[in-house]
Amino acid sequence: MTTLYIKNMVCQRCILIVEQVLQKNGIQPVQVELGEVILSDFPSPEQEQKLRAELSSLGFEWLDDQRSQLIEQVKTFLISKVQSGELPEDFSLVKAVSEAFHRDYSSISKLFSELEGITMEHFFILQKTEKVKEWLVYNELSLSEIAFRLGYNSVAYLSSQFKKTTGMTPSTFKANHRGRRKALDQVH
């Protein structure tokens, strides 16, 4: 079995696109998940060259470097946590990342900042902000329900963080900025 790590796979559509690229190149994956493709065998050199080029043309990147692979796994983990919409109020980024990756948080955090140019905490806040925007645009949840689902201890704290990140309050965004959201792979 071979695992390929693919950067910028952040949603279900990304998985479908990568699966199509693989199948188009005669490769039948064992499993495709966010950021990872499991194959029974490593692709031939010709297949690898074609895959890298096609993935790149679609905004994906096949990662070779173990440090980049780890950070991509961390990003995928954080995105999936936020997208689940079920963060407990006592959610600890330090604890969750340390437990999920069986490594010291500070070393992962330092590497994340080095490779991504922002802190892991800021990345996580930006992901949460985009989820808030999504829910505001679709008008399915109240601000207090959104705060609860994303682990904020109050609506005031969510609003403060949202304003600090976007420059506007959630209600201003909701009233005037429908559709101004970022794709998850563009959040940084």
Domain ranges in the chain? Answer: 2-64, 68-186
User: How much is the pLDDT for 184?
Assistant: 53
Amino acid at 34: L
| CA separation for the pair 20, 116 (Å, rounded) | 28
Structure tokens at 30: 């064992």
User: How much is the pLDDT for 44?
Assistant: 86
Structure tokens at 40: 């029974």
Which CATH architecture does the domain made up of 68-186 adopt? Orthogonal Bundle (1.10)
pTM of the predicted model over 0.85: no
User: How much is the pLDDT for 42?
Assistant: 87
Phi first, then psi, for residue 75 (nearest 5°) are -60, -45
User: How much is the pLDDT for 178?
Assistant: 56
**Weakly modelled stretches of the chain, pLDDT under 50:** none
Q: What is the full DSSP assignment across 80-142?
A: HHHHHT-B-TT--HHHHHHHHHTS-HHHHHHHHHHHHSS-HHHHHHHHHHHHHHHHHHHT-S-
Q: At what angle do helices 93-101 and 105-116 cross, to 10 degrees?
A: 100
According to CATH, the topology of domain 2-64 is Alpha-Beta Plaits (3.30.70)
User: How much is the pLDDT for 62?
Assistant: 87
